[in-house]
C-alpha cells in the first residue's frame, strides 16, 4: 500500500499489513526484499554484527542530532511511500513510522536515549505527517500570524509585535514540501508553473504561498492563525481597543441595521471587528456571508456561508466575490456580509445595501474613513462601470451609514480609531462626520505603550439616530455618546477630528 520505490507486495509487508507489534518478526527474521534493498543501499550491518561499543550516541538538537535525523529521514522516505502514509490516521501513521525508525536505528547503529528517540520521532512525524518545524508554532494560541520567508527566516506576530523565531527548515526543499502539503489539502498545487496559491489549514487558518521564481529567496508562506474562539466585543473592551461606551455604540450600530464598512490596514482587526458587529444581529435574521476564506464565526442559526473559488489548474471554475454577492441577492438575504470587499463586488454590495438589505456589512483596506470612500469609488470604477464619479458618490451616500476604522498602532496595540457617519454630499464631495474617535495623548516612557482615550465628538444626534429610535435603542445611544464626551479646560466639549 505504501510502496514507492519498491513493489506493492514488498511494501505491504513493511507497513500496511504489518502484524501487531508483539507479533512482528525481528529484523533478522525478515526476508522482505525491500528491507534488503534498503539495507544494501545503506551498508547493512546486522544487529549481531554491530558491536555496541561502536555505536555513536547522538546529541540532542546539535549538528549531530540533525545529521542523524537527516539520515533516518532519508532512510525512511526510501522505504515507504509517504503520500499514502499521510492518508492514515495520525496515530496509526505515527506507530508505523515509529516501527520503521526503530528498525533503521538498529541497522544504522544509532544509540539514543528513549527521550531522544521520542524527540526524533516527534520531529520526523511533524515533518512527514504535519507541517515540520511549523508544528510548534501552529500549536500556540497566542500567535496571530506566522510568516516564513525562505528556509532560514520565520517571523511570528504575538501581541501585536512581530518577532523573529529560531525556527529553521532544513532547506527550501523541505519548506516547499510543507507548502505543497498544505495546498494539496485544498486540491491545489504550488510549483514553478503556478507559484501563487491560497489555501486553508484544517483548523481554518488562512494560508498564502508564493514560491520561487516569484519569491526570490525561497518559498514564502504566510499563515493567519484561526482563533477557535473569535474575540468578542467585551474582550475588545477589556483590551482597551474600544471604550465600554464605544462598544455599546458599536452594538447599537449592529443591532439597528446600519449599513457598515469596516475599514483598516492589513491585520488591523477588520475581520475580528466584523465578527463582533455581526454578533449583535438578531437570531431570526437570514444572513449570507461571502468570503475568500471563511473566517467569520456567526452565532446565529440562520446563516448561509459562501466562499469564493480560485480557478483550477486548467484555469477554469473561478467563482469571484462578485459572483457570490450577485448570487446572494437571489437568496432572499436579510443581511449580506462580505468578508473583504476588494473589487467590483463593491458595486453589488452597495446596491444590496440600497435595496432593502439594511444592515449589510463588509470590510475593506483603507487607512481612514475618508480613504475608505475613495477606495470604494475606485473599486467600482475598476469594475468597468462607466458611471460619473458623482453618481458613484451619491450611491455611496445612499448606501453606507457608518464606517468603523480599525488600526494597529505602532506599539502593536489594535484600536478602533473612528466611528464615522456618511452624512451626505457637499458639491461633489462625500461628507463624513466622526461621532467617536481615539486620540493618542502620549507614550509611556518605560513600556513604550501609547497612551490615549476614546471619546465622542459631541454629536448627540447622529444620522442613524432615527434607526436607533425605530429599534428602541435611542436612550442607550444618547447615554453612551454623552458619557464619552470630554471637556477641555474651559469646559467646552471637544469636537470632531477629521477622518
Ligand atoms: N482588538 C484586538 N486586540 C487584540 N488582538 C486583535 C484585535 N483585533 C484583532 N486581533 C487579532 O489580530 C489578528 C488579526 O486580526 P484580523 O484577522 O481581524 O485582521 P484583519 O484586519 O482582518 O487582517 P487582514 O487584513 O489580513 O484580513 C488576529 O489574530 C486577531 O485575533
Ligand atoms: Mg481580514
**Which DSSP state fits 447?**
T
> Which is the closest atom of ligand 1 to the Cα of 273?
18
User: In the block, which residue shows the cell 535525523?
Assistant: 69
Q: Using the mean position of ligand 2's atoms as its centre, give its distance from the Cα of residue 57 in Å.
A: 49
Task: Compute the distance between CA of residue 282 and CA of residue 396 in angstroms, rounded to an integer.
Answer: 25
C-alpha cell at 497: 477630528
How many other C-beta atoms are found inside a 10 Å radius of the C-beta of residue 289? Answer: 25
In a mutational test of the pocket of ligand 1, which residue from 267, 375, 450 has the highest number of ligand atoms less than 8 Å from its CB? 267
Angle between helices 63-79 and 114-129 (to 10 degrees): 60
Does residue 418's CB lie within 6 angstroms of at least one atom of ligand 1? no
Q: pLDDT value at position 321?
A: 95
User: In the block, which residue shows the cell 432593502?
Assistant: 356
Q: Using the mean position of ligand 2's atoms as its centre, give its distance from the Cα of residue 274 in Å.
A: 9
Does residue 79's CB lie within 6 angstroms of at least one atom of ligand 1? no
Does residue 241's CB lie within 6 angstroms of at least one atom of ligand 1? yes
> Which is the closest atom of ligand 1 to the Cα of 268?
21
Q: Tell me which residues have their CB within 5 A of the ion that is ligand 2.
A: 270-271
Q: pLDDT value at position 186?
A: 76
Peptide bond into 309 cis (omega under 30): no
Q: Using the mean position of ligand 1's atoms as its centre, give its distance from the Cα of residue 271 in Å.
A: 6
Q: pLDDT value at position 66?
A: 76
How many other C-beta atoms are found inside a 10 Å radius of the C-beta of residue 198? Answer: 16
**Which DSSP state fits 23?**
G
Give 214's Cβ-side CA count (13 Å radius): 13
C-alpha cell at 93: 501513521
> Which is the closest atom of ligand 1 to the Cα of 230?
31
Does residue 266's CB lie within 6 angstroms of at least one atom of ligand 1? yes
User: In the block, which residue shows the cell 462601470?
Assistant: 385
Task: Compute the distance between CA of residue 410 and CA of residue 160 in angstroms, rounded to an integer.
Answer: 9
C-alpha cell at 141: 494560541
Q: pLDDT value at position 192?
A: 83
Q: pLDDT value at position 360?
A: 94
Does residue 227's CB lie within 6 angstroms of at least one atom of ligand 1? yes
Q: pLDDT value at position 483?
A: 93
Q: pLDDT value at position 490?
A: 77
Q: pLDDT value at position 497?
A: 56
Does residue 393's CB lie within 6 angstroms of at least one atom of ligand 1? no
What is the number of the ligand closest to the CA of 267? Answer: 1
> Which is the closest atom of ligand 1 to the Cα of 241?
1
Q: pLDDT value at position 403?
A: 97
Q: pLDDT value at position 183?
A: 86
Contact yes or no for 438/454 (Cβ under 8 A): yes
Q: pLDDT value at position 14?
A: 32
Does residue 272's CB lie within 6 angstroms of at least one atom of ligand 1? yes
Q: Using the mean position of ligand 2's atoms as its centre, give its distance from the Cα of residue 319 in Å.
A: 19
For atom 24 of ligand 1, the residue with the nearest CA is 267
Q: Using the mean position of ligand 1's atoms as its centre, give its distance from the Cα of residue 280 in Å.
A: 19
Q: Using the mean position of ligand 2's atoms as its centre, give its distance from the Cα of residue 278 in Å.
A: 14
pLDDT in tens, the chain (499 residues): 443 433 333 333 233 333 333 333 333 333 333 333 333 333 332 222 233 333 333 333 567 777 888 888 878 877 777 667 767 777 888 888 888 888 888 888 777 788 888 888 888 887 777 788 898 899 888 999 999 999 999 999 998 889 999 998 888 988 998 898 888 877 778 888 889 988 888 888 999 999 999 999 999 999 999 888 889 999 999 999 999 999 999 999 999 999 999 999 999 999 999 999 999 999 999 999 999 988 999 989 999 999 998 887 777 889 999 999 999 989 999 999 999 999 999 999 999 998 878 899 999 999 999 999 999 999 999 888 888 999 999 999 999 999 999 999 999 999 999 999 999 999 999 999 999 999 999 999 998 899 999 999 999 899 999 999 999 999 999 999 999 888 887 778 788 754 4
Q: Using the mean position of ligand 1's atoms as its centre, give its distance from the Cα of residue 350 in Å.
A: 25
Task: Compute the distance between CA of residue 371 and CA of residue 312 in angstroms, rounded to an integer.
Answer: 34
> Which is the closest atom of ligand 1 to the Cα of 145?
29
Task: Annotate 234-261 with b (16+ C-beta within 10 A) or e (fewer).
Answer: eebbeeebbbebbbbbbbbbbbbbbbbb
Rg from Cα positions in the chain: 29
Q: Using the mean position of ligand 1's atoms as its centre, give its distance from the Cα of residue 130 in Å.
A: 25
Nearest to 267 by CA among 234, 301, 224, 296: 224
Does residue 254's CB lie within 6 angstroms of at least one atom of ligand 1? no
> Which is the closest atom of ligand 1 to the Cα of 264?
21
Amino acid at each position: 500500500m505504501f510502496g514507492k520505490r519498491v513493489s506493492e507486495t514488498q511494501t505491504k509487508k513493511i507497513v500496511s499489513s504489518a502484524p501487531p507489534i508483539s507479533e512482528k518478526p525481528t529484523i533478522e527474521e525478515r526476508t522482505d526484499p525491500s528491507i534488503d534493498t534498503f539495507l544494501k543501499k545503506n551498508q547493512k550491518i546486522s544487529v549481531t554484527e554491530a558491536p555496541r561499543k561502536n555505536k555513536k550516541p547522538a546529541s540532542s538538537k546539535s549538528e549531530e542530532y540533525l545529521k542523524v535525523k537527516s539520515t533516518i529521514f532519508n532512510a525512511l522516505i526510501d522505504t515507504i511511500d509517504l503520500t499514502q502514509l499521510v492518508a492514515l490516521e495520525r496515530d496509526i501513521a505515527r506507530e508505523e513510522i515509529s516501527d520503521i525508525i526503530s528498525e533503521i536505528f538498529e541497522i544504522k547503529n544509532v544509540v539514543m536515549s528513549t527521550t531522544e528517540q521520542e524527540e526524533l520521532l516527534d520531529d520526523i512525524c511533524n515533518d512527514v505527517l504535519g507541517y515540520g518545524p511549523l508544528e510548534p508554532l501552529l500549536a500556540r494560541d497566542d500567535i496571530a500570524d506566522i510568516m516564513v520567508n525562505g528556509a532560514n527566516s520565520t517571523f511570528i506576530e504575538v501581541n501585536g509585535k512581530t518577532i523573529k523565531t529560531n525556527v529553521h527548515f532544513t532547506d527550501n526543499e523541505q519548506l516547499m514540501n510543507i507548502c505543497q502539503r498544505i495546498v494539496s489539502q485544498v486540491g491545489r498545487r504550488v510549483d514553478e508553473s503556478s507559484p501563487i496559491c491560497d489555501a486553508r489549514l484544517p483548523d481554518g487558518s488562512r494560508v498564502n504561498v508564493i514560491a520561487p521564481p516569484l519569491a526570490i529567496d525561497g518559498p514564502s508562506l504566510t499563515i493567519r492563525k484561526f482563533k477557535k474562539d473569535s474575540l468578542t466585543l467585551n474582550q475588545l473592551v477589556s483590551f482597551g481597543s474600544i471604550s465600554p461606551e464605544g462598544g455599546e455604540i458599536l452594538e447599537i450600530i449592529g443591532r439597528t441595521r446600519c449599513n457598515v464598512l469596516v475599514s483598516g490596514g492589513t491585520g488591523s482587526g477588520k475581520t475580528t471587528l466584523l465578527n463582533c458587529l455581526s454578533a449583535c444581529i438578531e437570531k431570526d435574521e437570514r444572513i449570507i456571508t461571502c468570503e475568500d476564506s471563511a473566517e467569520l464565526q456567526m452565532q446565529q442559526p440562520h446563516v448561509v456561508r459562501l466562499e469564493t473559488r480560485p480557478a483550477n489548474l486548467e484555469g477554469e471554475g473561478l467563482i469571484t466575490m462578485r459572483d457570490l454577492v450577485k448570487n446572494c441577492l437571489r437568496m432572499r438575504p436579510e443581511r449580506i456580509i462580505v468578508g473583504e470587499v476588494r473589487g467590483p463586488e463593491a458595486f453589488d454590495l452597495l446596491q444590496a445595501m440600497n435595496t432593502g438589505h439594511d444592515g449589510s456589512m463588509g470590510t475593506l483596506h483603507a487607512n481612514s474613513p475618508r480613504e475608505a470612500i475613495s477606495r470604494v469609488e475606485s473599486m467600482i470604477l475598476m469594475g468597468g462601470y462607466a458611471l460619473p464619479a458623482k453618481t458613484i458618490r451619491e450611491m455611496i451616500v445612499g448606501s453606507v451609514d457608518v464606517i468603523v476604522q480599525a488600526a494597529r498602532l505602532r506599539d502593536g496595540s489594535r484600536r478602533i480609531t473612528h466611528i464615522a457617519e456618511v452624512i451626505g454630499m457637499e458639491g461633489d464631495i462625500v461628507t463624513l462626520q466622526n461621532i467617536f474617535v481615539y486620540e493618542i495623548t502620549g507614550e509611556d516612557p518605560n513600556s513604550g505603550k501609547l497612551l490615549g482615550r476614546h471619546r465622542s465628538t459631541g454629536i448627540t444626534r447622529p444620522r442613524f439616530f432615527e434607526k436607533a429610535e425605530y429599534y428602541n435603542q435611542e436612550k442607550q445611544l444618547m447615554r453612551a455618546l454623552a458619557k464619552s464626551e470630554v471637556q477641555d479646560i474651559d469646559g467646552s466639549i471637544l469636537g470632531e477630528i477629521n477622518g
